[in-house]
Amino acid sequence: MTNQTNTAALRGATRYVALIPAAGVGARMAAGSPKQYLHIGAKRMLRHTVDAFLSSPLIAHTYVVVSADDPFIDAVLSDAGREGSRVTVLRCGGATRMESIRNGLHALGEVLGPDDRVLVHDAARPGLNAALIERLIVETGDHAAGGLLALPVVDTVKRRDGGSVVTVPRDGLWLAQTPQMFSYALLCRALDAATDPAAITDDASAVEALGLAPKLVEGHPRNLKVTLPSDIRIAEMYLAADEPI
């Protein structure tokens, strides 16, 4: 089946939407604004992230969750909310990432059906592109527990144990990325059941807490999370190269 045929089949079966929590302050960047609003090349980081979803014909709509008093979002996403726009800003962000996602999901209760797929993606991963989005959707398929992009660990892993250092076998170890995709009903159930936010480090871990095993789909290093100032240059290099995946 060709990619074009794949795309047509997927568009007719299930609705896919993106949900981007963007209410964080990015403390580790030590910048004058939240890190999602820093420039990566000519555009703000969040603009790159949103544009990745807009470039995919598989994504019906993109929702961005920000804090109620966010002063930057209107300028960065000036097209949001316009007639024909595929972007909507939800001003219901919470104190934590999980709270922002939960609030966003609840705000969409009358928009999404239980079987619609929600792709939750970090605002600070501007290297996402349409090819990775398609790979996640196609390879996850109708897997009941959903799926996520991730990278198999290739480096030797060390763990400090008291005064000693222990080598950890890397077989079977993966580094989670985003998007992480689940049905709307499953994601709501998983996050509503999460009683300890500290134990839920990503959306997949909330689903795993229900006893389910999301599918791991191999991602790409370009989809890195910008956390430190030095990561900005790396992201710029990947975006400038724009090599096929």
Q: How confident is the model over 180-210, as pLDDT tens digits?
A: 999 999 999 999 999 887 788 999 999 999 9
pLDDT beyond 70 at 23 = yes
pLDDT beyond 50 at 1 = no
pLDDT band for 5, please (50, 70, 90 cuts). very low
The residue count of the chain comes to 245
Q: What gap in Å lies between CA 212 and CA 209, rounded to an integer?
A: 7
The contacts of residue 223 (CB under 8 Å, 6+ apart) are: 125, 127, 128, 132, 149, 177, 178
Query: What's the domain count of the chain?
Result: 1
- Mean pLDDT to the nearest integer, 134-142: 97
Return the pLDDT at 197. 74
Containing structural domain, residue 226: 3-241
Return the pLDDT at 195. 81
pTM, rounded to two decimals: 0.92
Question: 43: exposed, middle or buried (C-beta count within 10 Å: 0-12, 13-18, 19+)?
Answer: middle
CATH number of domain containing 78: 3.90.550.10
> Do residues 93 and 67 make contact, with C-beta atoms less than 8 angstroms apart?
yes
Q: What gap in Å lies between CA 139 and CA 147, rounded to an integer?
A: 8
Q: What gap in Å lies between CA 41 and CA 24, rounded to an integer?
A: 21
Question: Looking at residue 201, what DSSP letter applies?
Answer: S
pLDDT beyond 60 at 12 = no
